[in-house]
Amino acid sequence: NAGVTQTPKFQVLKTGQSMTLQCAQDMNHNSMYWYRQDPGMGLRLIYYSASEGTTDKGEVPNGYNVSRLNKREFSLRLESAAPSQTSVYFCASSGTGGLYGYTFGSGTRLTVV
Amino acid sequence: GQQLNQSPQSMFIQEGEDVSMNCTSSSIFNTWLWYKQDPGEGPVLLIALYKAGELTSNGRLTAQFGITRKDSFLNISASIPSDVGIYFCAALNYGGSQGNLIFGKGTKLSVKP
């Protein structure tokens, strides 16, 4: 009954440090997504993976990389963190095409100082 | 690109009042969704709409898929304190060319007991 699990829940990084946000889903969904949420900006798509083995850029991909490790797992990497990447990050998954909507994780709150 | 204009941006209401919010676009969609995000959590799907003119209820929530397919509305009747949160509209053209769920910027609802 886990749905979409994100780790960690909170993280503080220094400018220039790197880190990987982990996401796993247990719903056998084909598609997975990474969003960032900033006040007044809503949810902005960073990268997505329509199916295992494929990844594509979303609206705000700069400064990020992703890996679709297998059908269950989709990770987001910040190679050199910047203060502008301070945000709340959400992973989501869906069946193909997203007809029944996306299921979201509970988020990772990242602060870059 | 495609955009969803969600209004109002925020609402501060008394407990027991009814709430209305809407989402409009210049583009046509064949799927409209409404999500709620509780503080510190990821968005959770409330209602999904798949047909122009469709009216769907989920408890005290009622949503409608606009006849023009360019808008959707969400009403909450007799609001209670646990209705507090951010409500997002989202839209999709399922079955078309690869297109992901597009989100509005959200309506932040505050309820005064």
Distance of CA B92 to the CA centre of its chain: 13
Option in A4, A98, A107 nearest B101 (CB): A98
How much is the pLDDT for B99?
61
**A101 lies within 8 A of chain B by CB:** yes
Per cent of chain B over pLDDT 70 is: 94
A99 contacts in chain B (CB < 8 Å): 31, 92, 94
Q: Does pLDDT of A58 surpass 60? A: yes
Looking at residues A17-27, what average pLDDT do you find?
Answer: 97
Q: How confident is the model at residue A103, as a pLDDT? A: 95
Query: Which H, E and C letters describe chain B, residue by residue?
Result: CCCCEEECCEEEEECCCCEEEEEECCCCCCEEEEEEECCCCCCEEEEEECCCCCEEEECCEEEEECCCCCEEEEEECCCCHHHCEEEEEEEECCCCCCCCCEECCCEEEEEEC
Q: What is the per-residue pLDDT across B49-84, written as a single tens digit (0 to 9) for each?
A: 999 999 999 999 999 999 999 999 999 999 999 999
What's the pLDDT at B108?
95
Show residues of chain B in contact with A105, CB under 8 Å.
42
pLDDT in tens, A78-97: 999 999 999 999 999 998 77
Contact across the interface for B40 and A107, Cβ inside 8 Å: yes
| Minimum Cα–Cα distance from B32: chain A residue | A101
- Looking at every residue in chain B, the average pLDDT score rounds to 92
Residue B13 clears pLDDT 90, i.e. is over it: yes
**Stretch A49-65: mean pLDDT, rounded?**
93
For chain B positions 54-73, those within 8 Å of chain A (CB to CB) are: none
Predicted pLDDT at B96? 54
pLDDT of residue A35: 96
What is the rounded average pLDDT of the residues A49-73? 94
